[in-house]
Structure 1
């Protein structure tokens, strides 16, 4: 790609990055790239780059900044700024602009997911996310930049959430827990991330942590935005409360080992009693707690019975 906005503004020439000097021409180029293929009116450029108190000569300055941008783009003959009566239009192949490519991959991922192709959808989402190399428009100093960067970040988080949903469906909840925990710290008001973290914790059997996750998310949303959790997070929480507590994966093994140890202690006591009575005790080797009981095919009366295997 020749034009990058999902990080510091960068323009690639034929064999090296172009040097882009000047705060305002960089801002003008970034604005034209965000609206590539559409007419950007001069009034829009003034508001976006100069803000609420532009100088009286601002229209002349706009023409000057456009001239600078055109000089930068001379190295790219198939990219040009077209002048109209009311503004300017940047003609560029969308596949050369990272924002346009990101949005295309995001749409592709959603289509693949909706048509039952989760693996291909996840690949499209991951390809889209790799285009973000830093805070969007991170080095653009202009009034429009903050709102534009916030919008681009929200788009990234939406795609990331869609990818997390696919990974959860694929059973990757254990490995997603640390990733999601870090994400909600960085984006504490992004509700879908909290929802995915709650689900991941629940599926991993960490019920009390999942409840705490919901309570923390609810407190943040109420304190910062004055709202209650939305339908998706609320439904995930109700499902958590309605579900049976997930069993500890090691609980069954622990109970089995405990029972085997108890059987071994009982057999030792029987051998001691037989020895005190002067009777011969059957010879049996000590059994470790992990040895499973074995069912003998037949006993003396033809019925199956349980023996402790040596």
Structure 2
């Protein structure tokens, strides 16, 4: 099926508005940092011109596009984690590739098993890590968690909606996750004073968290209403859930970085770090949105 028959006009309009907002942000960052061409702020804003087109292409080539995007994130995550593994590389790679193949197969063909088996593997790795706090165990836990969380991008495509609605929900997920991160960053940088957990993530403040929640609430109501995805109470609930989930994902991966003694997982994305520094929120928000929609739909259909 042609992408133009899958991506609805409302979703296309919303994507264009997002690009317009990004363009305005780029101009603002360029003006503010005109004396420093390689400032952190300019690098972070400009990096979204790499991220947004990848997400857009994945939506345009639905259903293969989102699946390939999920696979790309997991492969890049494996590449980053492998750099920090000090043990036998072969054993680590075999374990990771096995889990990646299992996640891809189950998510695409057996979504019910994926929702049970993949989280089970994550819990098993978590238990192993808590029992023996080894770097190798932590890296496996991070990879298992990434595969499990990102696989729910594919799970969302199994929900009982039209293809056009599924694409709209995927766009909603990506947009809310990104805007929550951006809202937390901007408000935290501008007004942040009270640290939440300075030893884990020094830049996280209560003001930033509240800013991210407010940004998510506004974006969810505007975007969800425009795309006709859900009623207002549900959109408010989804916004709060994804905002807190995104924050939790960021904190969990930050704690892992403190354990590993690193600032970023890599320098793949200028101004952001590695793929795991950018996708850490998505690892949590994707399954949260899937289950929220699933149980809401079950309740209405029942």
Alignment TM-score, normalising by the size of structure 2: 0.26
Pick the structure with greater CA Rg: 1
Alignment TM-score, normalising by the size of structure 1: 0.25
Greater fraction of residues in strand? 1
Which structure has more relative contact order (CA 8 Å, sep 6+)? It is 2
Greater fraction of residues in helix? 2
